[in-house]
Amino acid sequence: MRAAIYARVSSERQEKEHTIGSQLEALRGYAAQTDGIVEEFTDEGYSGARLDRPALDRMRDLAERRGFEVLLSYCTDRLARKFVLQALILDELERLGVKTIFLEGGAADDPLSKLLHQITGAVAEFERAKIAERYRRGKLYRARCGEMVSSNVPFGYVKIRRRDGVPAHAEIEEGRRRWFGGSSTIM
């Protein structure tokens, strides 16, 4: 069976920590059991909550052209973070005769495996929503405490990062200050 690999990371931190590399290494090791890897598809910096990802689109196009028989992905949430998207992709691949295998969770081709993948997909979606809620709540709390939480600052100001117990704040950028007739003006 000819295999394709799909891997994804969504954040800059995951990119910097090379977690996509560890996914690919594990997937390549598993692919040694197949007739070879047709193509590797990687989406770096794309949320699994979106369906419009460049590598995912290319993988789906290749599947439609019958370019491979098995798709290897590390786990269900690498394929999609939203259960509905995950179900859509898996159903599409199944209709095209592509067997999907997750290193964490196995194949998605029998009723029990499908149920487990549906459950883990729902849990991944819930987990993503909880992370977003915690992030929003923490940002709101810091803003209420007087901290500047946005990376955007007004023209003529610079953001001073949090340090030594002083919250992040904005200060006038000294290079922008000009004196005209004794008054200070921001340019």
What is the pLDDT at residue 181?
Answer: 44
Half-sphere exposure of 169 (CA within 13 A, CB side): 10
Model-wide pTM > 0.75: no
What is the pLDDT at residue 148?
Answer: 84
Give all strands (DSSP E) within the chain, no chain letters. 3-9, 37-44, 70-73, 99-102, 106-107, 157-160, 169-172, 177-180, 183-186
Cα-only R_g, the chain: 23
What is the pLDDT at residue 106?
Answer: 63
Cα pseudo-dihedral 96, 54, 39, 92, rounded to 10: -10
- Known catalytic residue at 10: yes
What is the pLDDT at residue 179?
Answer: 47
- pLDDT tens-digit profile, the chain (187 residues): 899 999 998 866 555 555 788 899 999 999 988 888 999 999 988 888 889 999 999 999 999 999 999 999 998 889 888 888 888 999 999 999 999 998 887 666 667 777 776 787 778 778 878 888 888 888 888 888 888 888 888 888 888 888 888 888 888 887 655 544 445 544 4
What is the pLDDT at residue 123?
Answer: 81
Distance, in Å, from the CA atom of 75 to the CA atom of 150, rounded to the nearest integer, reads: 33
